[in-house]
A and B are shown apart, each in its own frame.
Chain A
Amino acid sequence: MSKLSGLGGRLYRGETSIDFIGRRRRWYAVSALFILLSIGALSIQGLHLGIEFKGGSSFTVSKAGASIEDARSAVAATGIPGEIIVQNIGTDKVRVQTGALTSVENNAVQDALAAKFSVAVESIDSQIIGPSWGKEITRKALYGLIGFLIVVVLYLAMAFEPKMAIASIIAVVHDVFITVGVYALIGFDVTPATVIGFLTILGYSLYDTVVVFDRVRENTRTITANSKSTYSQAVNLAVNQSLVRSFNTSFIALLPVGSILFVGAGLLGAGTLKDLSLALFIGLAIGTYSSVFIAPPVLAQLREKEPAMIALAKRVNGRGTPAPAAVTATVPTGERRGPRNQPKRKNRK
């Protein structure tokens, strides 16, 4: 543990420095690959939507020794239309999922299951979603997502700099893509709880980025005045300085989420807890990655295009060359040796 703390000190002073900004092409390439994979998975497999989004019924019977075959035959005997999915949940539960049914059909399925496993109808846990309801839920989820992005961009643009807001949103969109991709690729169920978990992650991913950018802002406040480092270098130092913090905050946030996932998936099998925490878990990991590897390089690129920053980069790069400012002053103006050297040196790769 104290090793990490010691590392924090070295990162802070810049003794140990990881080049996040300079190697940005590498990180971009990794992300681009994942995004392509996500788009591929999404277009080929699509998302596995839960019954909440498409309408349908789900019945869960708790009875030791309840078998999938028994449940399937009981439900099939009612002659309901559509596909029937039967799974075991935990050790003593069977869950039956059907398409959207009429209330008569729903009652028939409940009665059939109750008779088959000799349990009371009231003890069967059920969830029945009307066919038009799913559209409503989907619409609301989309509105929530769009509303969130707009409000947060505006807020961050006010609280920080507009370009920081752009960079954070690029990072968030990146997180959205990859998380959705993971869901498509592995085929996890997407339920409203997943969507909520997901929106929370957007908030959290931004939290992480905010912590890093706050440091960036502080490091670059007087950057044009003292010409010690380029904007990119200042950003890189800020990322390094907040690395331990980013790691700690993400790790601490993952601990409770992990425990929900463990308990939710392990003890309850399926449902709100598992869906919520799985989305949080995946999103947290990706959000942490993007707040270090994506958002700062994007910000650096955006800002480096500004004339003031280009000029700064020239001044900084000019320093430490064989012809520093103090020397050029002594050179007769006619010769212009110093300035002429600099563009050449810049072109050297």
Chain B
Amino acid sequence: MSTTNKPVKTAGRPLRSLAILALVLIALTGLVFIQGATAVRLGLDLRGGTSVTLQPRIAPGESGKVTNEAIDQAVSIIRQRVNSLGVAESEVAAQGSGTNRQIVISVPGDTGRRVVELVGQTAELRFRQVLASATSTGKADPNATPVAGVSADVNAKFAALDCTKAENLQGSGTDSPTDTIVGCDRAGQNKYILAPAEVLGRQISKASAGIDTQGGSAWYVMLTFNGEGTKAFGALTARVTSLATPLNQVAIVLDGLVVSAPRITEAIPSGNAQITGSFTQLEAQDLANVLKYGALPLAFDRGEVQQVSPTLGADQLNAGLLAGGIGLGLVLLYSLLYYRGLGLVTVGSLMIAGSLVYLLFLLLGKWIGFTLTLAGIAGAIVAIGVTADSFIVYFERVRDEIREGRTLRTAVETGWSRARRTILVADFVSIIAAVLLYFFAVGGVRGFAFTLGLTTLVDLIVVFVFTKPLLTILARFSFFSSGHRFSGLSAKSTGTLSAPKEA
């Protein structure tokens, strides 16, 4: 029996809560327009597209561990490949935590097989002597002087190569180490003819970025080769160092693209090389990371490939919205039938919660790249029920207090102080579930966890700053406090024999 007769807490300042909520809603709406986030970003399962989940592992024949840096490097290599498709809003991201991370590639539209074939190849790092280099003007240069000692075929390719085109910055892991190739640098500014590879990435044993404090704080990259690499690199540098530019340059080629093409100033037989230049800290670290990655390239297991045609995407979106509409309609109908006047409070609260969630979807899409998937829609629909549950817990509590003989104005406050705890504990359990689901789930189902967690938070906010203050205000009106037949608080509906009288 609830015999605790604590003094009724003050009703707070209900009007102020509502005013703050209104301000927040207006501010969020304003932000939406300022940020230009006027449409919810839809996931590929709702608009069609291909998504590929890759599980990185160490390439066959190598030993070592998959490091975070290697995965980051793999992500940037794959991003480079995907960008070459030129499809807007393509995404490449690592998902999961620690070293057990997956790489998720999403490309909207009808690209299908090309994406799948493009992303799965292992990217190799190789050192190749530069045979010719030129600034890529964006136009084919038919008058370029053919380079001696290179086949006409390669010369023609070099002349035609346009590094400003996305498709030429692809790098698909198909460059053969024994061929003379043409290639662009990563930025698409220069093009090169490159000799067959003489040193391989796997022959690197160590790479790091450092700063030379004596020589004017210049950033450089240290590079150490293993036994085989030392010999090969020594021979290569001894041969090219006395040649004329660009023949004395050795290009560091990752995935068919030139990352850097340093000039060799002396023969390096020791296996310890230093690459200097006008590096910024970031550039030096990037280069060191590329070299480290080359030392231990990753292979990818194709975990999951999902291809959704735009037609199916549209069907799924419509189905999701329809289910949401029906679900919301039924919940509102039941609330109104059962709780009458109080049901209107539910309707209002759900509308506020709905607009908050919608605004957050818009803004989070802009800020953190949140995309709404089918599972996400399902999460939001399920949340309608969970949100409505909070109101029921509260309303039933208020009715209980009336059954104890309290007046509505008192019942709204004492009922709240008790329901509040229940709602907090229950919502917290939901949030624990959502957070764990988010971290343990992979792929699309994470969207479910995210929306479920988000909507539970919104539920808490709405109950605290809207539903409760609104009820405090409504309790002042005689329609509710006198227990009108349609208020949902009549003697008949609470089951009390006589309506509570105002104290």
Contacts and interface: CB of A to CB of B under 8 A. Distances in A.
Interface of A: 1-2, 4-10, 12-13, 52, 60, 62, 103, 107, 110, 120-130, 132-133, 136-137, 140-141, 143-144, 147-148, 151-152, 155-156, 159-160, 192-193, 195-196, 199-200, 202-204, 206-207, 210-211, 214, 218-219, 221-222, 226, 228, 237, 241-242, 244-245, 248-249, 251-260, 262-264, 267-268, 271-273, 276-277, 280
28 contacts: A5-B492, A5-B495, A52-B304, A60-B312, A103-B117, A107-B113, A122-B112, A125-B312, A126-B307, A130-B303, A160-B425, A192-B443, A196-B437, A207-B389, A207-B430, A210-B422, A214-B418, A248-B338, A252-B335, A256-B324, A256-B331, A260-B378, A263-B326, A272-B45, A272-B378, A272-B444, A273-B323, A276-B448
A8 B495 contact: yes
B286 interface: no
B334 interface: yes
A6 B375 contact: no
A129 B304 contact: yes
Nearest to B492: A2
A262 B426 CA distance: 27
B494 A5 contact: yes
Contacts of B62: none
B110 interface: yes
A6 B495 contact: yes
Contacts of B20: none
Contacts of A218: 2, 418
B235 interface: no
Given A148-B433, A256-B328, A260-B381, A210 B426 contact: yes
A207 B459 CA distance: 14
Contact of B2 (A123, A219, A228): A219
Contact of A276 (B4, B378, B422, B434): B378
Contacts of A4: 338
Contacts of A13: 403
A252 B385 contact: yes
B437 A200 contact: yes
B268 interface: no
Given A200-B433, A260-B381, A132 B301 contact: yes
Contacts of B418: 214, 218
Given A218-B418, A252-B331, A256-B385, A1 B403 contact: no
B392 interface: yes
A219 B311 contact: no
A6 B493 contact: yes
A252 B307 CA distance: 35
B463 to A, nearest CB: 14
B441 interface: yes
Given A9-B495, A207-B386, A207-B430, A264 B452 contact: no
Interface in B276-325: 301-309, 311-312, 315-316, 319-320, 322-324
Interface in B1-39: 1-4
B304 A130 contact: yes
B495 A62 contact: no
Nearest to A155: B432
Interface in B32-68: 45, 53, 55
A159 B425 contact: yes
Contact of B311 (A123, A242, A255, A260): A123
A2 B320 CA distance: 33
A200 B451 CA distance: 12
Given A248-B392, A252-B392, 15 more contacts: A8-B494, A127-B307, A130-B304, A159-B428, A193-B448, A199-B436, A204-B386, A206-B429, A207-B389, A222-B4, A226-B3, A245-B393, A253-B385, A253-B386, A260-B327
A13 B448 CA distance: 41
A259 B393 contact: no
Contact of A133 (B111, B301, B311, B384): B301
Interface in B111-136: 111-113, 116-117
A168 to B, nearest CB: 9
Contacts of B474: none
A249 B392 contact: yes
Nearest to A52: B304
Nearest to A225: B3
A223 B444 CA distance: 49
Contacts of B428: 155, 159
Interface in B366-394: 374-375, 378, 381-382, 384-386, 388-389, 392-393
Contacts of B443: 192
Interface string B388-413: 11001100100110010000000000
B337 interface: yes
B387 to A, nearest CB: 9
Contacts of B422: 210-211, 214
The 3 closest A-B pairs by CB, nearest first: A9-B495, A256-B327, A203-B433
A264 B323 contact: yes
A126 B305 contact: yes
